[in-house]
Amino acid sequence: MKSPQRLALIAACWITALCTDVHGVQVIRRQGKPFAPQDCLWSRISEPDLQVPETEPTAAELAPTLGLVEAGSDHGVPVFRHEQTGMQFVFVPGGEFPMGSDYSGIFERPSIVASARNSREEKHYFNSEQPCANIYVSPFFIGQFEVTVAQYRAFLAAAQRGEVQHLEYPALEEQDHTPHFWEQEHLPFFDDDQPVAGVSWLSAFAFSNWMNARLPTEAEWEKAARGNDRRSYPWGNQFDVMRANTKEGINERTVRTGVYIGGRSPYGCYNMAGNVTEYTMDAYEETVYVHRKQTNHCLLERSPRRDHRVVRGGSWSQYVGGMHRARTTSRASLPMSYGVTGGVEDAQHLYPGFRVVLSPHQDLYPEGWLEERRRTLPERREARLEKRRLKLEELRNSMEEK
């Protein structure tokens, strides 16, 4: 008979092993039910009956309604400044663009396939971005750069004053928005003009609400990165290590926003390949493109529920920074509570960041959905704790019998 303390330790190790991936990131591994698109929560502007205007508003018409003022241009691209935060935005006009890829375009480039193989990701890695189809996206402004350390520091101060709780996503986890290793001087990640890195999707969501913005949908993100000509990278179809901060460059760190001028996207966004991998609004589902909405595609909540969110753009990290991930169509996922429940064990895990969007369609959730989830949060947290307690008790009893 094993002691109760030893049984508890074995149970804890067993659960941790089941919930930890190869890079130490805790995820929930379960035998899930089949994806049920008819039961999912889609963006309120993804409905097929959304009226697409014959003439889209221009940047000059939309900017004043979103708190933006003209701020000159950058290499011929008009730039707009957000009056509240000073953040710079560029405009992406409404219209259709080709979203996704096809296998022929991938496998005719051996270097992309080799990059995936070197990262222990085989051919199935590319399945989630198939097929390519024309998707309509309404006009929007997107951050010219990723959110920086300085910008995030202002949000963190507001969070520590208790001013952002009502803006948070109603997750079961208690939320602390301080990134791991925050401002540790021996790590080269925390200069004011570097992108904030190592944050959770939950923190990115709260930050976006705090500045009256939101995260981009993955359709918006991809259009901003590639434009309308099916390019594989923001600058064209051939990878160039001098245009993006990926692991091939061996920088071993993030770089400040505004470098890699040659890596800008068609609409003037910097670092949409490499640097930090970027969160989007979308819940992750590998097969969602088969069920994709043709207008403003965005899967807000998967059914059955799974708490992973889509990330885009690759990164600097040796873990997830290969050139195959830096492509404009590449899709990956992270738990929305990345880092909140552990898993960030070293600086190589400081790779997720984000940029924000300003749009006439700021609230994508159905009216009242988030408020109802916030109202029922205490009882849902209590129910989860009770479920975990019963599971541990069942496991302990099973071990005692053996």
pLDDT tens profile 371-382: 999 999 999 989
Q: What is the mean pLDDT of the chain?
A: 88
Burial of 30 (0-12, 13-18, 19+ CB in 10 A): exposed
Q: Which helix (H) or strand (E) holds 382?
A: helix 377-401
Q: How confident is the model at residue 48 (pLDDT cuts 50, 70, 90)?
A: low
CA atoms of 122 and 349, how far apart (whole Å): 22
- Cα–Cα distance for residue pair 216/140, rounded to 1 Å: 9
Tell me the average pLDDT across 215-222. 98
Mean pLDDT for 99-117 is: 90
State the DSSP code for 19: T
Arithmetic mean of pLDDT, 38-60: 85
Residue 14 has pLDDT above 80, yes or no: no
The model's pLDDT over 255-296, given as tens digits with 9 standing for 90+, comes to: 999 999 999 999 999 999 999 999 999 999 999 999 999 999
More confident residue, 167 or 125: 167
Residue 15 has pLDDT above 50, yes or no: no
> 175-211 pLDDT, tens per residue?
889 988 888 888 899 999 999 999 999 999 999 999 9
Mean of the pLDDT values across residues 40-69? 88
Whether 8 shows a pLDDT value over 60: the answer reads no
> Which comes out higher in pLDDT, residue 166 or 344?
166
pTM assigned to the model: 0.88
Answer left, alpha or beta for residue 29, where phi above 0 means left and psi between -120 and 50 means alpha. beta
For 303-338, write each residue's pLDDT tens digit.
Answer: 999 999 999 999 999 888 899 999 999 999 999 988
Average pLDDT over residues 117-131: 85
**Are 271 and 145 within 8 A, CB to CB?**
yes
Residue 135, pLDDT above cutoff 90? yes
Residue type, 398: S
User: Among residues 324, 314, 320, 316, which one has the least CA distance to residue 115?
Assistant: 324
The structural domains of the chain, ordered by start, are 33-366 (3.90.1580.10)
232-255 tens-digit pLDDT:
999 999 999 999 999 999 899 999
Mean of the pLDDT values across residues 4-32?
38
Q: Tell me, what's the pLDDT at 400? A: 83
Taking residues 387-402, report their average pLDDT.
87
Distance between CA atoms of 131 and 355, rounded to whole angstroms?
A: 26
Is 264 exposed, middle or buried (CB count within 10 Å of its CB: 0-12, 13-18, 19+)?
buried
Q: What is the mean pLDDT of residues 52-60?
A: 87
